[in-house]
Amino acid sequence: MSQISVSLPDGSKRDLESGATAIDLAKSIGSGLAKAAVGAVVNGAESDLTAPLPDGAQVAIITAATDEGRHLLRHSTAHVLAQAVVQLFPGSKFTIGPAIEDGFYYDFDLPGGKTFSEEDLDLISNKMREIIKADQPFVRSEVSVSDALQLFADQPYKCEIIERVTSGGADGADADEVGSGESISVYRNTDTFVDLCRGPHVPSTGRLGHFALQKVAGAYWRGSEKGPMLQRIYGTAWESKAALEEHLTRLAEAEKRDHRRLATELDLLSFPSELGGGLAVWHPKGAIVRKLMEDYSRARHEREYQFVYTPHLANANLFATSGHLDFYKDGMYPPMEMDNGVYYPKPMNCPMHCLIFRSRQRSYRELPLRLFELGTVYRYERAGTLHGLMRIRGFTQDDSHIYCTEDQLQAEIISLLDFIMSVLRAFGFNEFTANLSTKDPNKYVGSDSIWEKATEALRGALDTYGLEYKIKEGDAAFYGPKIDIDVRDAIGRKWQLSTIQCDFNLPDRFELEYVGSDNARHRPIMVHRALFGSVERFFGVLVEHFAGAFPAWLAPVQVKVLAVAQAHEEYAASIVQHLSALGFRAEAVIADDQLGKRIRNAKVEKVPYVLVVGDDDLANGTVGVNPRGGDVQRDVALNDFVNTLRADVAEAAIPGLSQ
């Protein structure tokens, strides 16, 4: 029998019989690898383990306990979910079921307008386990477009996807479901169930099983309010029982840390229905934290940035020039007609900063010119996507736009990475990764050469800085590539916060120029940059990261002073007055309830320090110190406590903000 030769990631080669598959390759390497294998990457493309390998292929085995392996497990589990629903609810129409971060979902249109209940989730989960126990193989095949339309004749959403793909109108979701080309890819689990899918999948349903269905939500078809309302089932799937249980435990902890719940419990802010969706009001305690964040941002920018302010709305002509009306109009609030013109609330600050640069002739000696603004913007997020402070319609960015020469660009980006890391560390984050987003070939302005130049500048800066990063193909904004910085919070979740975007296009659109050392006019390069991302979202992430227990420098109330009895209230008030005069945030709690209850209340409010004062303290000028998460200390001299508090606050090393 003839043989083929394939290359492994380490550069070695392995000879196999002709027709051998990736699972055969895995078995030839070792039984442990074969057992862990769920898919393969063949010549750079993901593939089923059961697909024959071509001669000379470069092959990497995908194992379950990797990001790629979990993605494959979750997508396969989503297909089992669809199979279970179709079997349990005859007449159901199924749409798309992608893997998402930490899980998967599938959208359904149920007959008679039915909606799923919690009891239905248990029923569906049990049916899925029956399918998994049956160890049904995932069998891939290619069919013609006409055969695919006939195969899914009773599934209108699948037919719509097929028609969009064949007409050239497919989007990313369609490609994930079908792929592209003259034939349509389908997978069968049994003779009675078939689904559209590009693949790959695990070899059989028996490789699955560590999953949980989590919730039901409404979702519009294709995310448009004009489309039908569907029923979406969310779930999660993992490579082992231990990994699943760890994730569910983390979710339970995340629920406890939900910033929307803690914001109410700690009296930080609220979302009154009278305001409308996606808008918040900040209560005094939340406003204190926000002010500290903004003061910190201003203090960090004072040396090298120039502060600017811009209006909240502008004439439509400005956004036509910037390109937002062409590429971002769906995300903008509806226009207002006045003064014989059309005005929009601004979705971005960058066009107005370009006007500031263009307001007079600029010299190369002024570059890099760094403009900074805590600028509030407005974006029309769909109602179904709103989520507390994490997805909101009006928010403030710590926004900067830097205008520099091409020679200055890479050094400027490296400096920005340093700046970002120091800011994130000051707020308690210490684990970082980055993503480099490249051009969406269907949605961009500017020449390919300009995009390549900008992308390489960002890539070079990341390589020089030494920050771990991944490439996100096609995820850039329409006007230029970007770096997104992710942080890992206290319970291991990733949050995308800071952004650096390199832009060669807006300077062209606004005809920005500077006079170079050669006395000729040149086009500057523009860098968009936000460190918090948005103040509101960063605040929400902080609440969840700290579970509402802000570090001493950020806590809205740093010290609560509790008098044991009414006779000690005057002394408690004098301590508050002393601490306040030193710049600390302190409150006295009158003795109108049992001491133990008042201490518990202060702890529920997550105050860093609770001081209790009684007879001995009044006589000796001392306090009892009950630190959050620490041991109680008695008879502490007030000055000693002040030094402890000052050191705690100073640990944050906040320029201009430490007492």
Q: Which residues are catalytic?
A: 350, 379, 397, 399, 401, 482, 528
Rounded to whole angstroms, the Cα distance separating 482 from 508 reads: 18
Q: Supply the DSSP symbol for 228.
A: P
Tokens describing residue 236: 């999660």
Q: Which residues contact 343 (CB under 8 A, 6 or more apart)?
A: 313, 314, 315, 316, 335, 336, 337
From the number of C-beta atoms within 10 Å of its C-beta (0-12, 13-18, 19+), residue 26 rates as: buried
Tokens describing residue 165: 């793909």
Cis peptide before 368 (omega within 30 of 0): yes
As a residue count, the chain comes to 659
Bridge partner residues of 623 (DSSP): 636
Alpha-carbon distance values, 467 to 67, 436, 470, 541, 639 (Å): 19, 11, 10, 22, 44
Number of other residues whose CB lies within 10 A of the CB of residue 642: 18
Q: Is 181 helix (H, G, I), strand (E, B) or coil?
A: coil
Bridge partner residues of 395 (DSSP): 377
- How would you write 157-217 as a 3-class SS string? HHHHHHHHHHHCCCCHHHHHHHCCCCEEEEEEEECCEEEECCCCCCCEHHHCCCEEEEEEE
Q: Which residues contact 270 (CB under 8 A, 6 or more apart)?
A: 263, 264, 280, 281, 283
CA-wise closest residue to 611 among 566, 581, 642, 649: 642
549 Ramachandran zone, left/alpha/beta (phi>0; psi -120 to 50): beta
Bridge partner residues of 341 (DSSP): 338
Dihedrals φ, ψ of 342, to 5°?
-115, 130
Tokens describing residue 614: 């009684």
Q: Supply the DSSP symbol for 517.
A: T
Q: Is 51 helix (H, G, I), strand (E, B) or coil?
A: coil
Q: The sheet that has 494-503: what strands, in order across it?
A: 306-307, 369-378, 394-404, 525-530, 494-503, 482-488, 432-437, 469-472
Instruction: Please state the separation of Cα 574 from the chain's center in Å.
Output: 46
Number of other residues whose CB lies within 10 A of the CB of residue 464: 13
Tokens describing residue 175: 């490609």
Radius of gyration of the chain measured on its C-alpha atoms: 29
CA-wise closest residue to 230 among 121, 383, 80, 116: 116
The amino acid that residue 482 corresponds to is: K
Tokens describing residue 569: 């209230």
Rounded to whole angstroms, the Cα distance separating 484 from 236 reads: 26
Rounded to whole angstroms, the Cα distance separating 541 from 545 reads: 6
Structural contact between residues 292 and 268, judged by C-beta atoms closer than 8 angstroms: no
Structural contact between residues 305 and 400, judged by C-beta atoms closer than 8 angstroms: yes
Number of other residues whose CB lies within 10 A of the CB of residue 498: 25
